[in-house]
């Protein structure tokens, strides 16, 4: 068994225009002061990361990592959630997602998609320069508007969507293989890969590609009423990253999974700071340890109530309290002895 690394913090929700959240030096010092040992980096945030330079210059990557290390944290993974989203966008969401892209390609879906593919490949190259072995992303979605359809979906619509999704990602996965980096799709509502079944549909179409893997985040399963513990056992060989995020689901006679178009505060399903929701993290960390997961436990803060800085500080301690330092021996070894094959055969009567 292996001990999970952590705690680490995903910086996307904390980056801002005010110190210490607007520079790499400032935000890494702050994260270390909160108690974190690692940080996950959003590659789209130019306030502290130059993706193009990272993809072309190992010296830049070494300096980037060195500054973080000097401040007390390691770079755990790079994230391309926003760029991955743009690899596949249904036209219904063109306007909503345009803001994720560079200004030069906004309003041009084909150019935007090509830009997104290039961005994800750049992040994979940058990951290799930083000696990282996983990268976080979203799959994007072509079929999501038809998740719960009326009228019924035309025959073959979903198959066509997943065929196209796989065709767009296959060259990226091949580039990931050249870089020695696993692509870890966050299984997330809003993405075509939003549960185990859809991940399997995609995995089959990319030929069970070795670089096609999962980012496990139980909060998204709580809100779908999916068994997030069983999911770990089913996909243990594909789970390569872990977001530690809490959630709660409190259905009423007025609303359930779909939330009635309400704000996050007023939904039956809500994201919460660690320890304030319903996720059984003791069971999750136990399963992760038993399944030899040796990646990072990365806190992602998305609470609808608590201040982010409070959530971050509490989250670091929460993860420390839940990481299991795995044993190097069995509890009953004291009662054992040397292997005696003759004695074993005698005990069995053979």
- The confidence score (pLDDT) of residue 249 equals 98
CB-based contact 117:87 (threshold 8 Å): yes
CATH 2.30.30.100 fits 5-348, yes or no: no
Contacts of 73 (CB under 8 A, 6+ apart): 8, 28, 31, 32, 36, 37, 38, 39
- The confidence score (pLDDT) of residue 334 equals 64
Q: How far apart are CA 138 and CA 79, in angstroms?
A: 9
- The confidence score (pLDDT) of residue 212 equals 99
Q: Beta 74-80 vs 239-244: how paired, if at all?
A: unpaired
- In the chain, which residue ranges form alpha helices assigned H by DSSP? 24-34, 51-56, 58-70, 81-85, 94-97, 109-129, 157-179, 196-205, 219-222, 228-234, 281-290, 308-322, 341-348
Contacts of 349 (CB under 8 A, 6+ apart): none
- The confidence score (pLDDT) of residue 328 equals 80
Each of the 350 residues of the chain gets a pLDDT tens digit; together they read 889 999 999 999 999 999 999 999 999 999 999 999 999 999 999 999 999 999 999 999 999 999 999 999 999 999 999 999 999 999 999 999 999 999 999 999 999 999 999 999 999 999 999 999 999 999 999 999 999 999 999 999 999 999 999 999 999 999 999 999 999 999 999 999 999 999 999 999 999 999 999 999 999 999 999 999 999 999 999 999 999 999 999 999 999 999 999 999 999 999 999 999 999 999 999 999 999 999 999 999 999 999 999 999 999 999 999 999 998 877 767 667 788 899 899 999 99
Residue 137, CB half-sphere, CA atoms under 13 Å: how many? 33
- The confidence score (pLDDT) of residue 336 equals 74
Q: How far apart are CA 148 and CA 94, in angstroms?
A: 20
Phi-psi sector, 32: left (phi>0), alpha (psi -120 to 50), beta: alpha
Report the predicted TM-score, pTM, of the whole model to 2 decimal places. 0.95
Tens-place pLDDT, residues 81-138:
999 999 999 999 999 999 999 999 999 999 999 999 999 999 999 999 999 999 999 9
- The confidence score (pLDDT) of residue 282 equals 98
């Amino acid at each position: 068994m292996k001990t999970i690394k952590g705690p680490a913090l995903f910086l996307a929700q904390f980056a801002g225009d005010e110190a210490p959240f607007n520079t790499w030096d400032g935000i890494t010092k702050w994260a270390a002061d909160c108690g974190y040992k690692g940080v996950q980096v959003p590659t789209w945030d130019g306030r502290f990361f130059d993706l193009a330079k990272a993809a072309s210059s190992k010296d830049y990557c070494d300096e980037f990592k060195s500054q973080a290390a000097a401040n007390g944290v390691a770079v755990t993974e790079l994230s391309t959630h926003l760029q991955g989203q743009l690899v596949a966008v249904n036209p219904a969401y063109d306007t909503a997602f345009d803001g994720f892209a560079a200004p030069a390609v906004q309003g041009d879906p084909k150019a935007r998609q090509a830009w997104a593919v290039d961005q994800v490949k750049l992040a994979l190259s940058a990951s290799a320069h930083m000696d990282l072995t996983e990268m976080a992303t979203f799959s994007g979605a072509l079929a999501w508007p038809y998740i719960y359809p009326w009228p019924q979906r035309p025959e073959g619509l979903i198959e066509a969507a997943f065929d196209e999704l796989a065709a767009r990602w296959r060259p990226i996965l091949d580039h990931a293989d050249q870089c020695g980096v696993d692509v870890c799709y966050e299984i997330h509502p809003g993405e075509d890969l939003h549960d185990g079944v859809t991940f399997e549909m995609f995995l089959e179409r990319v030929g069970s590609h070795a670089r096609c893997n999962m980012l496990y985040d139980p909060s998204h399963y709580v809100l779908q009423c999916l068994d997030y513990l069983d999911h770990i056992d089913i996909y243990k060989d594909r789970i390569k990253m872990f977001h530690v995020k809490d959630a709660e689901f409190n259905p009423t006679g007025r609303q359930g999974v779909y939330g009635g178009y309400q704000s996050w505060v007023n939904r039956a399903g809500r994201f919460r700071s660690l320890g304030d929701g319903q996720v059984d993290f003791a069971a999750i960390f136990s399963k992760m340890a038993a399944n030899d997961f040796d990646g990072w436990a990365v806190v992602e803060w998305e609470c609808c109530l608590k201040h982010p800085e409070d959530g971050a500080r509490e989250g670091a301690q929460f993860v420390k309290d839940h990481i299991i330092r795995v044993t190097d021996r069995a509890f009953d070894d004291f009662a054992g002895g040397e292997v005696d094959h003759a004695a074993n055969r005698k005990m069995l009567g053979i």
